[in-house]
Structure formats: structure tokens, C-alpha cells
């Protein structure tokens, strides 16, 4: 049986965050937790990376340029190729309606900013563990639900 640290080492997480300081903090913390990371600065870059590279999980800021986190989450959940990808939404928007909208669109978790890095890592690990059995690759040509 592989340890949790060993099993997460090969996991690639997209960090979609427009604030470079927060992105660096999150990426460094995830790397220290044994994950590989890729950073996207805006929604279009994030969505393109998700569809092309199919990361194992997504840490998704709600407020970003070009496409916001709600839009990205909704598009990911409609794409057969990546619809099961775990999504951890993070935002400074702490209103109940924002959290509910994220969950209704299919987010697996919601982390409010400011956050403790240890809590973010624990939530990412929990979501990744819960979704470990879900790996349903679909050919790209049939990846979008109409």
C-alpha cells in the first residue's frame, strides 16, 4: 500500500489565480505537500490548460480576468473529458450565495480567503482522496455535452 505522500507525488494540480503572490503561496504549499503544480493567471488560460492537459485537480479562484471561476467550473462539469476533475474553489467572496452557487455548479469544496495554508492542503488532499477512484477518460472528440 502506498503512503498518502507517495500517492500524491504524481498528482498534477492546476492553480488558477490572478494574484501572483497568492498563486506562489498556494503552488509552493502544494509542492511541499507532494503535488506538482501549474499556474494559470486568467480564466481562458486555465480552461485551455484543463482541456489540453487534464490535471488531476483544480484549485480555482472565483474572481479572475477573462473567465471567472463560476464560468470555468460550469464548463468543466459539462465536458465529458474532464467533468470528474476535482475542483476546490477559493475566494475572498464569503457570502452564502457565492458558496451555494459554486456547489450548485459542481465545486467539490470552497475555501474562503484569507485561509491557512495547512487547511487548504488538507482540503485538497481530502478532495483528491474522495475522487481517487474516479478516472473516466473520454476521447477528446466526444468531450463536450451538447
pLDDT band at residue 141 under the 50/70/90 scheme: very low
pLDDT score of 3 more than 70: no
Q: In 3D, which of 117, 99, 95, 97 has the Cα closest to residue 108?
A: 99
As a whole number of angstroms, the distance between CA 144 and CA 146 comes to 6
pLDDT of residue 134: 62
Question: What pLDDT, on a 0 to 100 scale, did the predictor assign at position 10?
Answer: 81
pLDDT of 131 above 50 = yes
pLDDT confidence bin for 120, thresholds 50/70/90: very high
**Are 36 and 12 within 8 A, CB to CB?**
yes
pLDDT-derived band of residue 97, with 50, 70 and 90 as boundaries? very high
Mean pLDDT of the region 106-119 = 95
| pLDDT (0 to 100) of residue 118 | 94
Query: Which pLDDT tens digit goes with each residue over 4-49?
Result: 444 545 899 999 999 999 999 999 999 999 999 999 999 999 999 9
CA distance 3 to 141: 36
Over residues 82-97, the mean pLDDT reads 95
pLDDT, residue 137, reads 52
Q: What does pLDDT average to over the chain? A: 88
- Residue 138 neighbours by CB distance under 10 Å: 14
Flag whether pLDDT at 111 surpasses 90: yes
Amino acid at each position: 500500500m502506498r503512503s498518502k505522500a507517495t500517492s500524491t507525488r504524481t498528482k498534477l494540480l492546476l492553480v488558477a489565480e490572478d494574484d501572483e503572490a497568492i498563486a506562489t503561496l498556494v503552488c509552493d504549499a502544494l509542492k511541499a505537500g507532494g503535488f506538482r503544480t501549474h499556474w494559470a493567471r486568467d480564466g481562458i488560460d486555465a480552461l485551455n490548460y484543463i482541456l489540453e492537459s487534464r490535471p488531476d485537480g483544480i484549485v480555482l479562484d472565483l474572481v479572475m480576468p477573462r473567465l471567472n471561476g463560476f464560468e470555468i467550473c460550469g464548463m468543466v462539469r459539462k465536458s465529458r473529458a474532464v467533468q470528474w476533475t476535482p475542483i476546490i474553489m477559493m475566494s475572498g467572496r464569503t457570502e452564502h450565495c457565492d458558496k451555494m452557487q459554486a456547489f450548485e455548479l459542481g465545486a467539490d469544496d470552497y475555501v474562503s480567503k484569507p485561509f491557512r495554508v495547512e487547511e487548504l492542503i488538507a482540503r485538497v488532499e481530502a478532495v483528491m482522496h474522495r475522487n481517487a477512484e474516479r478516472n473516466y477518460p473520454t476521447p477528446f472528440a466526444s468531450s463536450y455535452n451538447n
